[in-house]
Chain A
């Protein structure tokens, strides 16, 4: 059962083969249904992809044509000036560093802590194991609320503090469940053999558990990185200093005030070498769309490569819990 859950694709192909072999009868109704299914799925897939696609082609088209709404299916007069200009907005570079920093540091610590705790919660002789495991898991099902959380974070001096992006995310119950489930599925003999050889708990963790848990840790890392990169609410609540703004937060601000930014970039360009031509002159729309693509790019790039990890993650999580 669990093997099938973990890897659904071969089974699906097997089923298709089976149906081909045994040959379910295709009535006229069935054919009609097929057409409807294909059409609906294609439309929905289009709705999922087109927003990204249309923004990308608009950011690389001549800005004056784009502003007229003429770029619909193909880019026109391709140029990449927008991606150069956009970094002239003060704060965007800093925000990129903040987002990158919290993603790298936060993800490393979350993965490390999830691996360690997931492993430790399999240690049946640990004092109060059941209690501490429940103590951890139950936090998935309640929270004090946004404002009480904000007030206590403030009392801990975690407002306008980079640590506020990192510390609360280190212990992540869902990831701990994923690792614990994985470790429980590995052969116990490995751990026993190492213990008999006199390995301490730390040696066991670093030498045995970490190497064999790589697949699940990769999954956890991807999930954690996406969470960190996408995080918006913590900046909204806890940060007022612009040097700690994340890309997501900056993007939100830009959507609401992009017109003043485009004027500023245009003034900078006018002051430097040549007058910007209409095609590369920054408009409200060009700035907003370009920043959008910069913020979404990491997700679009890693997503096709790591999609199977996401799927694996949700499966294991679901089987368990």
Chain B
């Protein structure tokens, strides 16, 4: 008996040993970078290594709010972050509506064509999106060419250098890229609706709009709720690439989100320690947000989302 127990035990350990190299990789690239947070507590200026940099405690955290100029700059970045995330959140219902009306299309081939074509932009990188944007909207771009040909403009319109509607154009590009893809989950939810519900609605004499409102919409709300919660949890994580590629000297003030600001501070300005300090605050707030929405989800739906 003891022998057998030992055998099972060793089998169980052996299985773990097989996956352990992968756990080491995961630890190295997902957990170990957290150690990089210590840079926030040192006065680190390359090429002097961290080990010889003086420990400064919370100096960098205090420096974020030490004078009005810095406060204003940080506030502008936070405003951009919340503004652009807020716009995305405000229109988070769009994929749902897209799915509802797409499935209302009776011509199967047309519907499949639309679905295929609108999902495509999701699979190209932000660099490529920017390249397309540049080809269409730069001063030598196709749109300016057309406007000139039509005699509507004398000098090219500098769409990409415009600093007035950055939040809106960034939202438009995000939507262009992601709308078709985000709708797929909702399309799946609609396909999962029991046919008897439609039959019942028909017997009751419901119109198309009534069917959408009373049958289709309620069946999509659980999916919407989960995605909404996840979106709130990543409110501060706009990502770097989109804003980095669209950034230029003219729109910098209104396009810098936290991720881009942190990048510019460190890689552009060499202020690694301050940058790490902001990164750290951002990560902590994000984790708090995640736990909050998870708690909220448990309370409202009795299910956790992570």
Contacts and interface: CB of A to CB of B under 8 A. Distances in A.
B226 to A, nearest CB: 9
A24 B208 contact: yes
A260 interface: no
Contacts of A29: 209
A127 to B, nearest CB: 4
B119 A307 contact: yes
Contacts of A126: 12, 15-16, 19
B188 A18 contact: no
Given A116-B18, A132-B19, A295-B127, 16 more contacts: A13-B108, A37-B105, A38-B110, A41-B114, A45-B118, A48-B118, A69-B145, A136-B26, A146-B262, A147-B263, A148-B276, A230-B125, A232-B241, A255-B131, A295-B128, A299-B124
A146 B15 CA distance: 34
Contacts of B108: 12-13, 16
The winner among B113, B180, B223, B266 for most chain A CB atoms within 10 A is: B266
Contact of A171 (B26, B179, B181): B26
Interface in A262-316: 284-285, 288-289, 292, 295-296, 299-300, 303-304, 307, 310-311, 314-315
Nearest to A283: B140
Interface string A143-185: 1111111111100100000000001101100000000000000
B192 A1 contact: yes
- 9 interchain residue pairs of minimum CB distance: A69-B145, A148-B36, A145-B279, A230-B125, A8-B191, A144-B33, A139-B30, A126-B15, A127-B16
Nearest to A319: B188
B81 interface: no
Contacts of B272: 147, 151
A5 B130 CA distance: 34
A55 interface: yes
Nearest to A11: B191
22 contacts: A5-B188, A8-B187, A18-B199, A19-B198, A45-B118, A48-B121, A49-B120, A54-B135, A54-B142, A72-B142, A135-B26, A139-B26, A141-B233, A141-B306, A145-B280, A171-B26, A171-B29, A171-B30, A252-B245, A289-B135, A292-B128, A307-B116
B131 A147 contact: no
Contacts of B290: 141-142
A27 to B, nearest CB: 7
Contacts of B121: 48
B104 interface: yes
Nearest to A10: B191
A187 interface: no
A230 B211 CA distance: 41
A68 B145 contact: yes
B87 interface: no
A255 B33 contact: no
Interface of A: 1, 4-5, 8, 11-16, 18-20, 22, 24-27, 29-30, 33-34, 37-38, 40-42, 44-45, 47-49, 51-52, 54-55, 58, 67-70, 72, 113, 116-117, 120, 123, 125-128, 132, 135-136, 138-139, 141-153, 156, 167-168, 170-171, 201-202, 226, 229-233, 236-237, 248-249, 251-252, 255, 284-285, 288-289, 292, 295-296, 299-300, 303-304, 307, 310-311, 314-315, 318
Contacts of B275: 147
B90 interface: no
B279 A147 contact: yes
Contacts of A296: 124, 128
B60 interface: no
B120 A48 contact: yes
A151 B50 CA distance: 10
Interface residues of B, number: 100
A252 B39 CA distance: 30
Contacts of A13: 108
B287 A251 contact: no
Nearest to B24: A171
B231 interface: no
A295 to B, nearest CB: 6
B127 A143 contact: no
B76 interface: no
A55 B132 CA distance: 8
Given A41-B101, A318-B188, A142 B286 contact: yes
B214 to A, nearest CB: 14
B134 interface: yes
B91 interface: no
Given A144-B33, A146-B240, A148-B279, A14 B266 contact: no
A269 to B, nearest CB: 21
Interface in B91-123: 101-106, 108, 110-111, 113-114, 116-121, 123
Given A22-B199, A146-B279, A318-B188, A152 B23 contact: no
Contacts of B148: 69
B191 A12 contact: yes
The winner among B18, B31, B188 for most chain A CB atoms within 10 A is: B188
B142 A69 contact: yes
Given A45-B118, A310-B119, A149 B15 contact: no
B35 interface: yes
Nearest to A44: B118
A207 B142 CA distance: 55
Contacts of B223: 318
B18 A201 contact: yes
Contacts of B67: none
A27 B207 CA distance: 8
Nearest to A20: B106
A128 B34 contact: no
Contact of A51 (B15, B123, B132, B192): B132
